[in-house]
Amino acid sequence: MRWRTLQEGKIYVKQNFKDGQIDVSDIQEIITNGDKQMADRIMRYGEGLCRTRQFWMARRYELTDMIKQIGHQGLIFFTFSTADLHWPELHKLMQPERHSSEETDSAKQRQNNIIKNPHIASWFFHKRFEIFFHDVLKEYWELEDWWYRYEWQHRGSVHVHEIGKRRNAPTINWNQMKENENLMKNMIQYIDSMVTTINPGIFATIPQIHPCQKSSSEIEDDLQDYIELINKLQRHTRCSPLYCIRRNKSGQEACRFRFPKEHTDQTFIRDDIHGQPELVTARNNPYINPHNRLQLQGWRANVDLKPVLSIHAALQYILKYASKSEPRSTAFSEIFNEILNKSNPEAASLTSIQKLLINSVAKRDISAQEICHLLLGIPLYHSSKVFVSLNINEVAPRWLRGTGSNEDGEEFGSLNDSRRTTKSALNIYWERPEEFEEYSIFKLYLTHKLINGVWKRCATENIVRIRPRPSPLRNGDQ
Ligand SMILES: [Zn+2]
């Protein structure tokens, strides 16, 4: 990764400063003279580098286009965390000679297991999620589309953020619903069947064994198991400045997840301060995280679930979770200034630009599990949709499978596009066979894919992304 970053830094210098002789003071001058675009240009150049801010920005735009194309009806957001310090099946893999859970019991032993075997932990999480998602959730929640990504927190523990679209969900039209009791009742019923913040065992005693350490044969009472999982995993118990306490605009400190929450017997939807629908779920405890019983009991680690009530909320979510680069990175211009301030003005610019690219990749801790995930070749995100990028100006159309690799099976992000001599998207469209005479360029790429010169119909619609975006101002009335 670092090597490729360095190479790309070199290419940038070669292409933009022909003799490669520009030095840091020249760059400092360009910046102080107000050429803020220069930094942007360098960053855009690094777009091909996986896992950087730019990588996730590109995903954000794709996902935004996907949501706009498939619509926000029936969308849900959900999260799956890990319980890798507890899951008995995982620890069995790390200590194959032991068979009984009693012998592997010490917390210290389990922690050592995880530290010594990040590759197993990483593989196991991915496999477990894949199986649970595809064999259970997809069926049970009737998902027709989805997009999910892996993310690692500071201390290295992994979780998955996902957006799914349900097949037979009732349509949400907030303005209509406010006027129509039946529509509202239907919607509330649907939401209550999907997500809950009720703890059926509010006074249950804290269990001796952590429920995530039980194997399926050890679970005797289904309801009691569910209650134990809620009490152990689904309570937002510790608000702390490091995790969730933020200062709001008026200077007051508050939990950013807005805990504690109000008690209410009935689920209802109301206008928020922006006139957007806001869901308030029935709850008997102010700290329960929203979830679905099957999701929690099947997955057996902390989970989260939120139905999407508006396109506004969908786009907010993408901004907040789906495309976040991690951890809270210093703003790019700050990094750039920092590098320039620390640099020797006599130094050649190559080093500065290399430093800049490296910083954008590596200004964060990368956990052992995250590195193992990458070494195992597991993609960072998955999507049920294929993305087609049509740059009308010049570049050949680029097909991206939902796992981030292109049709050649290469890792997405290599610089190969610039070396291709393929025809532009527009040229290919103009030369389309007669049977597609009536198709617009959008419709053709939406439903078909060009394979070895032949247009083949796709099983599901692609997400077509046209660049540059058609501007309503410039195009005027058509
Ligand atoms: Zn909090």
157 CA distance to ligand 1 middle (Å): 19
Ligand 1 centroid to Cα of residue 151, in Å, is 20
Structure-token pair, residue 373: 């995930």
Mean pLDDT across 420-442: 82
pLDDT at 168: 87
Q: Give the pLDDT of residue 366.
A: 60
The kind and range of the H/E element at 32 are helix 24-32
pTM for this entry: 0.75
- Give the separation between CA 378 and CA 403, rounded to whole angstroms: 9
What pLDDT band is residue 17 in, cutting at 50, 70 and 90? low
**Helix (H) / strand (E) containing 180:** none
Higher pLDDT, 341 or 186: 186
Q: How confident is the model at residue 18 (pLDDT cuts 50, 70, 90)?
A: very low
Rounded Cα gap, residues 477 and 468, in angstroms: 18
Rounded to an integer, the average pLDDT of 227-231 is: 94
- Give the model's pLDDT for residue 475: 42
CA–centroid distance, residue 121 to ligand 1 (Å): 28
> Of residues 412 and 4, which shows the higher confidence score?
4
Q: Average of pLDDT values for 91-100? A: 73
Residue 476 C-alpha to ligand 1 middle, in angstroms? 48
Residue 478 binned pLDDT confidence (cut-offs 50, 70, 90): very low
CA of 304 to the centre of ligand 1 (A): 14
Residue 372 contacts residue 84 (beta carbons within 8 Å):
no
- Rounded Cα distance, 390 and 424, in Å: 8
Q: What's the mean pLDDT when you consider all of the chain? A: 79
pLDDT reading at 192 higher than 80: yes
DSSP at 285: S
Please tell me the least confidently modeled range out of 197-211, 270-284, 340-354: 340-354
Does a cis peptide bond (omega within 30 degrees of 0) precede residue 327?
A: yes
Q: Could you tell me the distance, in angstroms and rounded to a whole number, from the CA of residue 194 to the centre of ligand 1?
A: 24
| pLDDT band with cut points at 50, 70 and 90 for residue 422 | low
Please report, for the chain, the start and end positions of each structural domain, with discontinuous segments joined by +: 59-322, 386-478
Instruction: Give 264's DSSP letter.
Output: B
CA of 200 to the centre of ligand 1 (A): 22
pLDDT tens sequence across 98-116: 555 555 468 888 888 888 8
